[in-house]
Amino acid sequence: MAYFFPEGTKVYYSSTFASAKNITILTNAATAVATAVAHGYTDQDPVLLASGWEDANDTVFEVDQLTADTFGVLGLDSSNTTWFTPGGGVGSASKISGWVEIPQILTISPNGGGIKYGNIDPLGTRQAKKQPIGFEAVGLDLKIGYDATNATIKAMQGLTRVASKVAIKLVIPGGGRVYGYGNINCSEMPEISKGNVIQLSVGVGFDGRSIGYGA
């Protein structure tokens, strides 16, 4: 059993995605195996997966390089064929590189991700049922120090203006990593209050799942 504290956490973004490698086979297994000819990936490379499987689509996974043409998709358990239809997960993978650290982070907090419920209340019964039906969308909220001369902040504001999507990587104490993918928004108006650091708001709304890995 281990516990971790947030001090020392760093957050990175990337808008650099390599040309997509077509995935012709994606197996049903505890760790799904993808076939992509001459993929060129090495162990722990992060890739953005586009897949016919909802729980694998628009999600960043690390890979386990197996052969020149196959790799394991770490963190993707596709063994349940009810939710992962055999043959239905093919798509593509794009390697992510060029990570840029988000500067001057003051606070960080996730939002969403809670369980969604549906109510089942037949007319002929007195006791309704509450059924979990999935999860709320996930996002990340940051407060960073305002600096009109910081090139990275300017770059994030530029990505915001064109509604660009990015990959996100959190590197947490102990060597863990958490990934996501979605739109980034960095405000241009500083938040000013007496006695406090002047701040900007940064938010990322994820399109797919957030996937975490240990050291």
| Listed residue (97, 103, 101) closest to 15, CA to CA | 97
What is the four-CA torsion angle of 123, 124, 127, 133, rounded to 10 degrees?
A: -50
Sorted by where each begins, the domain ranges of the chain are 17-97, 100-213
| Domain 100-213 part of CATH 1.10.287 | no
Q: Do domains 17-97 and 100-213 have the same CATH topology?
A: yes
Q: Can you say how many angstroms the Cα of residue 173 is from the centroid of all Cα atoms in its chain?
A: 18
34: Cβ contacts below 8 Å, ≥ 6 apart: 23, 25, 26, 27, 70, 71, 72, 73, 93
Backbone phi, then psi, for 151, in 5-degree steps?
Answer: -65, -35
- Tens digit of pLDDT at every position of the chain (215 positions): 788 888 999 999 999 999 999 999 999 999 999 999 999 999 999 999 999 999 999 999 999 999 999 999 999 999 999 999 999 999 999 999 999 999 999 999 999 889 999 999 999 999 999 999 989 999 999 999 999 999 999 999 999 999 999 999 999 998 899 999 999 999 999 999 999 999 999 999 999 999 999 97
**How far apart (Å, rounded) are the C-alpha atoms in residues 76 and 27?**
10
Return the SS3 of 212: strand
Q: What superfamily does domain 17-97 belong to in CATH?
A: Ubiquitin-activating enzyme E1, FCCH domain (2.40.30.180)
**How far apart (Å, rounded) are the C-alpha atoms in residues 87 and 178?**
28
1-16 pLDDT, tens digit per residue, is: 788 888 999 999 999 9
**How far apart (Å, rounded) are the C-alpha atoms in residues 123 and 128?**
9
User: Residue 96 class from Cβ within 10 Å (0-12 exposed, 13-18 middle, 19+ buried)?
Assistant: buried
Please state, for a pLDDT cut of 70, what percent of the chain lies above it. Answer: 100
